[in-house]
A = this chain, B = another copy of it.
Amino acid sequence: MRHSRRDFIQTLSAPLLAMPFLAMSEKHQKYEGPILRVAIMGLGNYGTRVAEAMKSCKKAKLVGVISGTPSKIKSWQAKYQIPEKNCYNYQDFDKIRDNPDIDAVYVITPNALHRDQVIRVAKAGKHVICEKPMSVNAADAQQMVDACKRAKVKLLVGYRMHFEPKTLEIIRMRKAGEFGKVLFFQGLSGFQIGDPTQWRLKKELSGGGAMMDIGIYSVNGSRYMIGEDPVWVTAQEVKTNKEKFREGIDETITFQLGFPGGAVASCLSTYTMNNLDRFFLNGEKGYAEMQPSTGYGPILGHTHKGELVYPHVAHQTFQMDEMAGIILEGKEPIVPVDGGEGLKDMKIIDAIYKAVQTGKKESVYL
């Protein structure tokens, strides 16, 4: 059995319940639609994970690299059959404008570099996928959104969870009213960070500590789980190790978000507790619980109706295929993953940092 492109798109729009199973049964079918040709900027750990995951993509393909390390470029060329003409460094990547064989660049570099790099990619006329956090503050994120709009390119943020089937099933249930009025969300996001010399612990590269890196999952999660945007935040910081976590690098922050419908979110962001990856959504009629909720491995979850039994999908594979659909086919994702959404999270994080400083309830305008 073969699908026309139209059939294929319709298949992908089929009810969520069927999605992962269809994806599996389609594995051995030939895909004939358009392919998103991607260059990865930043060949570190996460870049490598994305490259490996993309081997299984049907609609996206790794075709180029941008790196400051020639030896890395060489090894990636060999590993992923990347032609010399699709290799760039941080000085010359504006020339990607003249390369018709690259559609989009996935920026996977330290947070503080995202703004300028995304803007340069946009100016070069290529679509941009930017790893989270989108930037180090809302002002930068706004510039990025504006630049991509001006350049008429798409800007997407690498939030994997918006494509994860168990997450999407909870969102479907919430929209269908199966939890009743949603009243509470709890997100616990944390891990024990290792090497104290890594860029994530340098303010000038990371823009912040655990909140930028892992707490952002609870920030973003509170919005897609509750289905609203918060109107106020409060936050409290605790620091037990001032040598490892210096000025501007948050170790542990508890934060609360108030939503217009009366729901409240109570969250934890930390670099000192391992394997903290829990979401809990509570409504008047039911609840959902996920643990792990945002990790790279299988997401496990249950609701008042029972266990969520969708098979695991490799998040990065799924994300890149779905983003190809968004960029090339104008597909509308169930939860938005564009720059505007990333900007909202940066505004919330700005407000959380401000609330830590002022000790007061800070309004958020999204």
**Within residues 100 to 122 of chain A, which ones have a CB less than 8 A from any CB in chain B?**
none
* This protein's copies in its complex: 2
Q: Are A236 and B361 in contact (CB under 8 A)?
A: yes
Q: Tell me, in angstroms, the Cα distance from A6 to B184 when the chains sit together.
A: 51
Q: Tell me, in angstroms, the Cα distance from A201 to B266 when the chains sit together.
A: 25
- A309 close to chain B: CB less than 8 A: no
Interface string of A173-190 (1 = CB under 8 A from B): 000000001011010100
Q: Are A236 and B252 in contact (CB under 8 A)?
A: no
Given A188-B186, A282-B276; A236-B258 close (CB under 8 Å) = yes
Q: Is the interface of A mostly helix, strand, loop or mixed?
A: strand
Q: Tell me, in angstroms, the Cα distance from A276 to B282 when the chains sit together.
A: 9
Q: Are B252 and A264 in contact (CB under 8 A)?
A: yes
Contact of A183 among B273, B360, B361 (CB under 8 A): B273
Q: Tell me, in angstroms, the Cα distance from A264 to B254 when the chains sit together.
A: 8
Interface string of A220-242 (1 = CB under 8 A from B): 00000000000000101011100
Contact of A284 among B263, B268, B272, B282 (CB under 8 A): B272
Interface string of A157-198 (1 = CB under 8 A from B): 000000000000000000000000101101010001000000
**A211: shortest Cβ distance to chain B, in Å?**
14
Given A184-B268, A273-B282; A238-B252 close (CB under 8 Å) = no
23 contacts between A and B (CB under 8 A): A181-B240, A183-B252, A183-B272, A183-B273, A184-B270, A184-B276, A186-B188, A192-B284, A234-B234, A234-B236, A236-B258, A236-B264, A238-B258, A238-B262, A238-B264, A252-B264, A254-B256, A254-B264, A254-B266, A264-B268, A272-B284, A273-B284, A359-B360
**A326: shortest Cβ distance to chain B, in Å?**
35
CB-CB < 8 A to A234: which residues of B? Answer: 234, 236, 359
CB-CB < 8 A to A262: which residues of B? Answer: 238-240
**Within residues 273 to 299 of chain A, which ones have a CB less than 8 A from any CB in chain B?**
273-274, 276, 282, 284
CB-CB < 8 A to A236: which residues of B? Answer: 234, 256, 258, 264, 361
With both beta carbons as reference points, the residue of chain B lying nearest to A265 in the complex is identified as B254
**A362: shortest Cβ distance to chain B, in Å?**
10
CB-CB < 8 A to A183: which residues of B? Answer: 240, 252, 270, 272-273
With both beta carbons as reference points, the residue of chain B lying nearest to A238 in the complex is identified as B264
Q: Tell me, in angstroms, the Cα distance from A181 to B274 when the chains sit together.
A: 12
CB-CB < 8 A to A254: which residues of B? Answer: 256, 264, 266
Q: Are A361 and B359 in contact (CB under 8 A)?
A: yes
**Further 17 A-B residue pairs, CB within 8 A, beyond A184-B276, A238-B264, A273-B282:** A183-B273, A184-B273, A192-B284, A234-B236, A234-B359, A236-B256, A236-B264, A236-B361, A238-B263, A254-B256, A256-B256, A266-B266, A266-B268, A272-B284, A274-B284, A359-B361, A360-B360
**A180: shortest Cβ distance to chain B, in Å?**
10
Q: Tell me, in angstroms, the Cα distance from A184 to B240 when the chains sit together.
A: 12
CB-CB < 8 A to A272: which residues of B? Answer: 183, 284
